[in-house]
Structure 1
Amino acid sequence: MHTPLVSVIMPVYNVERFVGEAICSVLDQSYRHFELIIVDDGGSDESVAICKGFSDSRIRIVHQANRGLAGARNTGIDASQGKYIALLDSDDRWDADKLLLHVIHLEANASVDVSYSGSRMIDANGRPLSVAMRPRLMGITPAHILQRNPVGNGSAPVLRMAALERAGFAHPDEPSRRCWFDESFRQSEDIELWIRLAAGHGCRFEGIDGLLTDYRIVGGDLSANIPRQYDTWQRAIGKALGYAPALIARHGRAAAAFQLRYLARRAVQLGDAPFATSLLRQALALHPMMTLTEPAKTAQTAAAALAARLLPRAAFAKLVSARLGTAAAA
């Protein structure tokens, strides 16, 4: 087998319900010159057995004790051979032309280090929700990465390995282990790396047209995770303060406000109106100008919080499913 141009990295941990669909979306790509590195992160269900059921010479399965998403991605990247690294979480899926379009983009634009696309939202059963991630595509600065994370999710980007290498480092407790994602993060590991690439290493981000990733929303302990998600996001900002102090000083408050508004929408989608209202108030206190710069989105968040308070729970849940999805943008 010739050295693949693209290495697809797929961490797998207790996703037996979805992993087959994710693998099929890779094997169905119109672009064929890839390897799929599946990293078994020490789960306990039938996920790995499902992975082994696919007979394709481009698939490699790497086994490890549980390290979390960041650690599984690092293991996969370290085992990769490709010029480009494509990330796909094992509960998401891709449009059939995704890799082809990103390869065309990166091959034609040598100065672009990270190529990404928009994403559709799907529910646990694979049905499309009425919301999507339609990010800014051009003119991306470190401030855009910090404030709005146009990459959107971990299944959207394709990165140059050469750019990743600029941000690589030795694991603090295992010096022989090469890392790109910070394994001390169990949430916000994506945005931590994107900020570090853009602000710390001058990497250029650019998007391409189309909703090329299906980003799956699966229920769980999201309510308990909202405070933890904000805490880990703040950790990422604190880390960035060490290498990009001017960026954080200028844009940190607005970035925190947008993050809080995003989390307010998450709380709304759970029907937790008091928590959503509290988060939105914190966002407005940090960055009151968002009522002028983005009045529609801010008003929509406030109205949704009010609806969560006033509507019967079943009626509100139906509204969320039909109109909001469960991962609206910030």
Structure 2
Amino acid sequence: MSRPLVTVLMPVHNGADHLGGALVSVFAQDFADFELLVVDDGSTDATPAVLAGCADPRLRVLRLERTGLVGALNRGLEEAGGEFIARLDADDEMLPGRLTRQVERFRHDPKLVACGSDYLLFGAASGLVRTPHRAQDCRAHLVFGSPIAHPAVMLRADALRAHGVRYRAEYPHAEDFKLFSELAAIGKLENLAEPGLRYRIHPGQVSQVEAGPQQQVQLRICAENLAARGVSVSVEQLGRLLWPTGRGWTAALRYAVLRLPVVVWLGVRTHGLAGLGQALLIGRERIRTLLNRPAAS
């Protein structure tokens, strides 16, 4: 069998409830030169049966004993045959045309190593989430959080392998953010200025179940990214700047007056005008959260 241009990498553990929709969304893509590599990480539900019911020859299933998400992802990177690796989670869905547009971006720019997209929320929430689009904005955003939605990303496989970049078990629940931080030292990160993913919101997802631990690991990566730019800030300080607590006008005003200027300083200090723009976006969303308003779309 010839090497596919794209490997769609989908790890799954007990994901039978939503897996069918994810599979359909991949095989409905107008871009055909791909393999779908599903890493079944020790599922004990109907996941194997759902996969067995798929007759498309582009599906390749790798079954593991339970190893955890990071192990499943790294095994997928090792097994992927494509020049590009497109991620998707088993509870999300690709939007039409995503693979075509991401491959076009990689063909246009050989320095591009990761390309994500805006995305749509569905399930327990709805709306459009906009991401930083330009490479300079994605790089600047890394000191505040991940600029790319993991299940929306496409990666250049040779860049990962040439530089030994992989998912790091030391950064649980934010292994994607760490991967993007490492890739930013190699090449360009970008996002399509259009949605390429439907991102399901439900109580069982990692960002809900492990919200506290995930936030702490994200803050640790932010602190590391700031340190790499010559700025020393503790995780505790960053927590107050990036994840303020409280609700209402008083909390929002306190944040805007006392903490947002520091966020802006961090952005400008590390990335100039691009950092200023990302800091203001972060500040706007944090103020909206404090006012208990939905994120802007």
Please, what TM-score do these two structures have when normalized by structure 1?
0.73
Give the Å deviation of 1:139.
Answer: 3.4
Matching residue of 1:320: none
Tell me what 2:25 maps to: 25
Alignment equivalent of 1:297, drawn from 285, 289, 293: 285
Query: In terms of mean alpha carbon deviation, does 181-190 or 227-236 score higher?
Result: 227-236
2:128 is aligned with 1:145: no
Q: Compared with structure 1, are the counterparts of its residues 62 and 137 closer, same or farther at alpha carbon in structure 2 (3 Å cutoff)? A: same
- Aligned counterpart, 2:271: none
In 2, the alpha carbon distance for the partners of 1:123 and 1:258 equals 30
Q: Deviations over 1:215-254 (max 9, x none)?
A: 111114866633212222244346x46xx73326168789
Q: Which of 222, 229, 235 is equivalent to 1:247?
A: 229
8 Å CA contact 1:92–1:215 kept in 2: the answer is yes
Q: 2:159 aligns with which of 145, 163, 179?
A: 163
Mark the CA change 1:166 to 1:248 in structure 2 (over 3 Å): closer, same or farther. farther
User: Which of 185, 188, 205 is the matching residue for 1:204?
Assistant: 188
* Distance in 1 separating the partners of 2:210 and 2:43: 21
Shift, 1:197, TM fit: 1.3
In structure 1, what is the Cα distance between the partners aligned to 2:252 and 2:181? Answer: 23
Local SS of the residue matching 2:144: helix
* Contact 2:133–2:190, Cα closer than 8 Å, also in 1: yes
- 5 Å-filtered alignment, 1:21-170, equals 21-123=21-123, 129=126, 131-140=127-136, 142-151=139-148, 153-168=149-164
Distance between the aligned counterparts of 1:104 and 1:259, measured in 2? Answer: 34
Q: In the aligned structure 1, how far is the partner of 2:199 from the partner of 2:258? A: 31
Look up the SS of the partner of 1:96 in the other structure. Answer: coil
Q: CA deviation at 1:142?
A: 3.2
Q: Which residue number in structure 1 is paired with residue 4 of structure 2?
A: 4
Correspondence for 2:172 among 174, 186, 189: 186
Percent identical among aligned pairs is 28
Change (3 A) 1:285 1:165: farther
Q: 1:216 corresponds to which residue?
A: 200
User: Shift of the alpha carbon at 1:112?
Assistant: 1.1
The amino acid that maps onto 1:150 is P
Match of 1:260 in 2: 243
User: Aligned pairs, how many?
Assistant: 276
Residue 214 of structure 2 is matched in structure 1 by 229
Equivalent residue number for residue 313 of structure 1: none
Give the conservation status (yes or no) of the 8 Å contact 2:135–2:188: no
Q: Which residue of 2 aligns with 1:15?
A: 15
SS in 1 for 2:8: strand
CA contact (8 A) 2:142 2:222 kept: no
Contiguous gaps of at least 5 residues in structure 2: 265-278
